[in-house]
Amino acid sequence: MSKNAGGAGPAIGYRPGDALYAMHRRFGPLMRAGLGRRGFVYLMGPAANSFVFANAELFRTREAFEVLVPVSGESALLLSDGDEHRRRRRLVAPALHHRQIDGYLAIMTAQADATLDAWRPGRTVDVYQEFRAAIRRTTIESLFGRRLAADADFFGRHLQSLLSLMNDLPTVLEFRRRFDTAAWRRAVRDRAVVDERVYAEIARTRRGEIDDDDNVLAALVNGRDDDGDALSDREIRDQAASLIVAGYETTSGVFGWAVHAMLTVPGVWERAAEEVRSVLADRVATRDDLRRLTYLNGVVQETLRLWPPAVISARKIVRDFEFAGRTVPAGPMMIFSPYVTHRLPEVWADPLSFRPQRWDPAEPGYRKPGPHEFLPFGGGAHRCLGSTMATTELTVMLARLLARTTLRPVAGRVRPVSFAALRPRDGIAVEVVARD
């Protein structure tokens, strides 16, 4: 096995992201489009990212993420600013501490195995859709415990109409809401059904009528900050909904891209499988085991680099500022792009090649990227709190896939879709060659 397995061939691109990349190469880190308050300002590249993260007071997130309100709710962290954001983040962060997440490793392993148990050699499966369901079950069990995890398909069914709204541009979403379209009415009905179940579980948790208090919901209900403040039921509902969405809609997309890359870049699958079988054999991974999976961790990081969940992110500009020698007035929406940053040759050697070994500190020429250079989960005050859970889940489930199967890619074009949760539009078809 070549030590340098991986790196052949350009990565699959995404036309809207590649168009932004071309704009950045031509016009530099600051561009403007449109007029006045309805216009857009594009700040792209590492220096722009660093400026945005360091100057949160210049921007507001609420207006930029209105499209998420039907799903996440009014008080979700991503839709919060200023003191309210700081307060909610203090209360939510302990629920997602790495020690809490360590307790979910067995859940992640069991759900991956349950999916793989149904596979048979010679069968063609959509690995993206199959593991999307497994990741949804894992997320809900980790959030709400085993009782509600039995209803994971119920949540998946009723959340889908809400998740579909995330693909709309804000103007389209406003059209749906204002004219009460069929898609909007269906989403409203589905949200009411989901909310009824979530609020009932919150009430059970507050009364102590729960089967398992080692989950995120219990931590959110019982959490207090230094002043004794706690989250309201509505805030708990909104944080839980946000975590569900981030937990399976975005994570499953990254999982699909990781499998696609491992199967299509020469040597990557074989090297990752060899490492997994050497480190884990057939046991449930511990946190120490996961740290030893150096190459597989590189697969996860490299996938997040080339296919970050959010192609773009946005903020509303609320104060005038200067950047790159130009004055930017308050009013327009500001756009920055992890996708563009992650493909810049001045930041990444051979940027379009999938090279997991670039993340190994033992490799010659290793350089740890700064938070303004690698930002798959955003950055600054609004960096996603669920990032550790997402990367842990990806590593555990990919390890089970590598340990228990041999797969072959099925010929066909793989096309990305969505700005908010970059995913393979038609799934990732694979043939099961063998299964242990």
Question: 8 in a domain, yes or no?
Answer: no
Q: How many domains does the chain have?
A: 1
- Give the residue-averaged pLDDT of 217-239: 91
Question: 85 in a domain, yes or no?
Answer: yes
| Whole-number Å distance between alpha carbons of 75 and 52 | 22
Q: Which residues pair with 321 in a beta bridge?
A: 328
pLDDT of 213: 60
| Whole-number Å distance between alpha carbons of 199 and 321 | 43
Question: 2 in a domain, yes or no?
Answer: no
pLDDT digits (tens, 9 = 90+) for 5-42: 666 556 788 989 999 999 999 999 999 988 767 789 99
pLDDT digits (tens, 9 = 90+) for 176-220: 888 889 988 998 899 899 899 989 999 999 988 876 666 888 889
pTM, to two decimals: 0.93
The CATH number assigned to the domain holding 280 equals 1.10.630.10
Pick the residue with more confidence: 101 or 372?
372
Q: Mean pLDDT in the chain? A: 90
> What domain range is 293 assigned to?
15-435
Question: 4 in a domain, yes or no?
Answer: no
Question: 9 in a domain, yes or no?
Answer: no
Q: Could you tell me where the DSSP H helices lie in 362-407? A: 387-404
Instruction: Read off the pLDDT band of 1 (50, 70, 90).
Output: very low
32 is in an annotated binding site: no
pLDDT digits (tens, 9 = 90+) for 246-277: 778 899 999 999 999 999 999 999 999 999 99
Q: What tokens were used for 221? A: 């209900």
pLDDT of 127: 98
pLDDT digits (tens, 9 = 90+) for 410-425: 988 899 998 888 999 9
- Max CA separation in the chain (angstroms): 61
Mode of pairing for the β-strands spanning 40-43 and 333-336: parallel
Question: 43 in a domain, yes or no?
Answer: yes
Instruction: Kindly list the distances between the CA atom of residue 351 and the CA atoms of 8, 305, 337, 356, in Å, as whole numbers in the listed order.
Output: 11, 9, 15, 12
Question: 390 in a domain, yes or no?
Answer: yes
Question: 351 in a domain, yes or no?
Answer: yes
| Whole-number Å distance between alpha carbons of 305 and 343 | 8
pLDDT higher than 90, residue 158: no
